[in-house]
Amino acid sequence: MAVSLIEQSAGVESRIDFAPFLRAFRKHVLKIGLITLVLTGIPLPFIAKMTTKYLATATVLIKAQADNAVPVDQVDNFDSTRAPYYETQYNLMQSRVVLERAVKDMHLDDNPRFNGADHNDKARLKLAEQTTLTEQARINHAVQTLSRGLTFTIVRQTQLIYISYKSTSAAESARIANGVAKAFIHYSVDQKIHKTAQAQAWNTQQMQKLKKQLSDRKQQMAQFLDEKDLLMFHGIDGFETEKMEITNSKLADAKERRLAAQAAYETMLNTDRSSADTFASLPEIADHAQLKDLRIALTQARRKLYELQRLYGPKHQKVLAAGAEIKAIEAQSEVLFAELKERITKKYQEARIKEQRYQVLLHEQTRQVKALVAKRDQYNELLTEIEKTEDLYKSLLKRSKEQRLAAQYREPNAILYDPAMIPDKPQKQNKKLLIVMTFLLALVLNVLVIVVMTAMNRRIAGMHQLRARLGLVAVGDIPLFNTPDNWVDAVSRHPQAAEIIHGIQTAIDFCQKDIKVMGVASCFPQEGASSFFRLMARSVARKKRTLMLDLDYRHPDSLTEAGTQAENSGGFTAFVAGAALSSVVSSVDNNLDILTRGELTESPLIFFDTSAFTGALESLNRSYEQLVINMPVIEQSKDSQLLMRELDALVIVVKANQYAAPDLKKVLAKLPLREGQTVVGVVNQVKDDDLQSEESRQFMASSTIVDLEKTEQR
């Protein structure tokens, strides 16, 4: 059961309770205010001496693509789609060459505050007296001074870069921020123009070389043609090729004519052994005019002969004359056939001779063309070199003119999108803001100290912490009474003060009904457990017959009530030994008796563990409605652990702001709780601000007790 009590307290303690912090703030509010004012006042002289600085910011837009105002390709182009493009521009903007350009453009090297010749600085004045700063040294000093006040900020996922400059002068901060932006823009344009000029110069130099090469190649070509005695007609072999084509055409015609003549000749040879009619049917002869006439005459003569033979007979003179006429015609035909054969033979021979001559001529021309192949290859090589050189020269000439045109247009890769304006208010060393920040910082520091101190304070300050830190049911709290020496009686007689104890007793009844044996104990000495024991017994006696039983054998003094004296001074020890109850108890008030502890010769640990002790308590339970026991300090011995077996309820008295919760929990862990046993807590000597019970607050709100003095409770 002890473990369950600790676990219960740990679970509740993990909750955040802001009430202690609020009470600590209310308690120390004046201290916090005073210390805050002191801490705020300490840096005021330093703040007053601070130099005010102004911040001006210019916005530069890096172009994603060129303007393309000139319809020619730029020499220095860019590709903004590459991932590091904008990061590169951001770093180039911070480069030394850009800062030097800004220094020169704004003449900062002539400004003593920038060039290292500031006479307000004694060390620099002494150096200036000894040596004269060179121009480069002034520029270096100006660049260093300029870079200390410059800030470059790239805006992610955009094309914007902020250029900021801090200066003691508002106008100067804006001028320098804009000047650096313009220096970057002008420097990038100058670099493009410089590259274009370099490319143009190189192109011009290459054009001169190509022009000379072209002239040399043409001269070499003319010399080659003269040496080889070549005629240019559709190329180096154009003339020979043309002749060869003509010869080839004529050869084809001659061959065709020779084949026709050969066909007629061979037909003629084959007709020598046949009739004249077959010979006359040849195409070369059939169209001959004289032959046509002879054939007609022969036909007419034969028809005439036929008619005469039919009329006169074969021996008639006319028949014989007609036969002679036919023979004369046939004789003429034979003569004509012989002439035609001679003509066909000559024509065939002439066609063969022409064909052979054309063949010889074509062969000769073919040989000559073959001889030109090597010369043509050499010529083509020279011609190709000339043509390629001319093409390259034309390209360079065109590009040179384009570059000359592009060099006249100054197209920047960035623009000053939002120039810096002269700031109205300072950005740094805002004295009013620094004072406010100092005040707030001091206030936060004081509050933090209070929070840390409160958080580190593990002591029990009020009844609200009993549940959170110790796992005890809080039944009430008791304020610091302003009382005389006999303060218990004074509190008991005062209605509002006694109401506090009655409220605690009622809260205990709410936790458990029909309590027969109630113990009152404390974890450590001097926590007011004995005083609360006396007050609680008086409150219980208002309703029940009650016995005050003192079992604290560890305390040097026995607990007694003023004006009471028993017949037997042996007390509870004598009662256990067999003395009569009436002889050892004494009456304190109506329904309230007290039984002192008496003198014990043996160890309390042995005494509390005897059957006689248990029997004595049972006897007292039968004689009284409720026993209220004053128990030993839990931390000093195991007496309370033994007495826990006889208790129905235990009231733990905790002195406010005296002991830390971990120490109290360690002591409470020793108590062996049983099922149904109630353990509650009461906080004693609580400060006014920490009181939470209704009865204690009502008592503190009244002003009826003005004659009581503060006294220490036992």
- Amino acid sitting at position 502: H
CA dist., res. 423 & res. 169, Å (int): 9
- Per residue in 229-260, pLDDT (tens digit) is 665 555 655 666 777 778 888 888 888 888 87
pLDDT at 353: 87
* Strand residues in 346-468 grouped as ranges (E): 414-418
575, pLDDT greater than 80: yes
pLDDT at 233: 57
- Per residue in 56-94, pLDDT (tens digit) is 889 988 887 766 655 555 555 666 667 788 888 888 888
Token code pair at residue 382: 């020279």
CA dist., res. 421 & res. 443, Å (int): 37
- Per residue in 641-698, pLDDT (tens digit) is 888 888 989 999 999 888 888 888 888 888 888 888 889 999 988 888 788 888 888 8
CA dist., res. 466 & res. 654, Å (int): 9
712, pLDDT greater than 50: no
Token code pair at residue 36: 């805050």
Residue percentage of the chain with pLDDT more than 70: 82
CA dist., res. 552 & res. 683, Å (int): 21
- Per residue in 204-233, pLDDT (tens digit) is 888 888 888 888 878 877 777 777 666 555
Q: Which of 364-368, 422-426, 665-669 has the lowest mean pLDDT?
A: 364-368
β-strand pairing of 160-167 with 546-550: unpaired
Residues present in the chain in total:
714
At residue 131 the predicted structure's pLDDT band, cuts being 50, 70 and 90, is very low
| All residues at 6 or more sequence positions from 109 whose CB lies less than 8 Å from its CB, including other chains | 103, 115, 135, 138, 139, 141, 142
DSSP run (H or E) holding 521: strand 517-522
| Phi and psi, residue 231, nearest 5° | -105, 130
Torsion of CA 539, 541, 544, 545, to 10 degrees: 160
- Amino acid sitting at position 274: S
In the block, which residue shows the tokens 């304190």?
A: 588
436, pLDDT greater than 90: no
Mean of the pLDDT values across residues 292-309?
Answer: 78
| Phi and psi, residue 588, nearest 5° | -100, -45
Mean of the pLDDT values across residues 314-322?
Answer: 78
Using alpha carbons, list the distances in angstroms from residue 162 to 88, 278, 321: 15, 116, 139
- Amino acid sitting at position 621: N
- Which of 328-342, 352-366, 508-522 has maximum average pLDDT? 508-522
DSSP run (H or E) holding 149: helix 135-149
181, pLDDT greater than 60: yes
Nearest CA to 670 out of 629, 641, 639 is that of 641
At residue 374 the predicted structure's pLDDT band, cuts being 50, 70 and 90, is low
pLDDT at 546: 92
Torsion of CA 194, 197, 199, 202, to 10 degrees: -130
Q: Which CATH architecture has domain 463-704?
A: 3-Layer(aba) Sandwich (3.40)
3, pLDDT greater than 50: no
The model's pTM: 0.48
pLDDT at 518: 92
Q: What are residue 164's DSSP bridge partners?
A: 57, 151
DSSP run (H or E) holding 214: helix 170-228
DSSP one-letter code for 467: I
Residue percentage of the chain with pLDDT more than 90: 6
260: exposed, middle or buried (Cβ count in 10 Å: 0-12, 13-18, 19+): middle
| All residues at 6 or more sequence positions from 667 whose CB lies less than 8 Å from its CB, including other chains | 523, 524, 634, 635
CA dist., res. 692 & res. 477, Å (int): 7
In the block, which residue shows the tokens 């192109």?
A: 203
More confident residue, 118 or 632: 632
Q: Is there a contact between 420 and 213 (Cβ–Cβ < 8 Å)? A: no
Query: Where are the domains positioned within the chain?
Result: 19-50+429-456, 236-408, 463-704
First to last CA, the chain: 30
Q: What is the 3-state secondary structure (H, E, C) of 18-85?
A: CHHHHHHHHHCHHHHHHHHHHHHHCCHHHHHHCCCEEEEEEEEEECCCCCCCCCCCCCCCCCCCCCCH
pLDDT at 632: 92
| All residues at 6 or more sequence positions from 355 whose CB lies less than 8 Å from its CB, including other chains | 251, 254, 255, 258
Q: What is the 3-state secondary structure (H, E, C) of 536-594?
A: HHHHHCCCCCEEEEECCCCCCCCCCCCCCCCCCCCHHHHHHHCCCHHHHEEEEECCEEE
CA dist., res. 459 & res. 655, Å (int): 9
Q: Does residue 671 sit in helix, strand or coil? A: coil
pLDDT at 285: 64
Mean of the pLDDT values across residues 563-589?
Answer: 84
Q: What are residue 57's DSSP bridge partners?
A: 164
pLDDT at 72: 58
* Neighbouring C-beta atoms of residue 24, cutoff 10 Å: 20
At residue 517 the predicted structure's pLDDT band, cuts being 50, 70 and 90, is very high
| Sheet hosting strand 414-418, strand order edge to edge | 150-154, 160-167, 54-62, 414-418
Average pLDDT across the chain, whole number? 79
Mean of the pLDDT values across residues 357-373?
Answer: 76
CA dist., res. 649 & res. 674, Å (int): 10
CA dist., res. 343 & res. 351, Å (int): 12
pLDDT at 290: 72
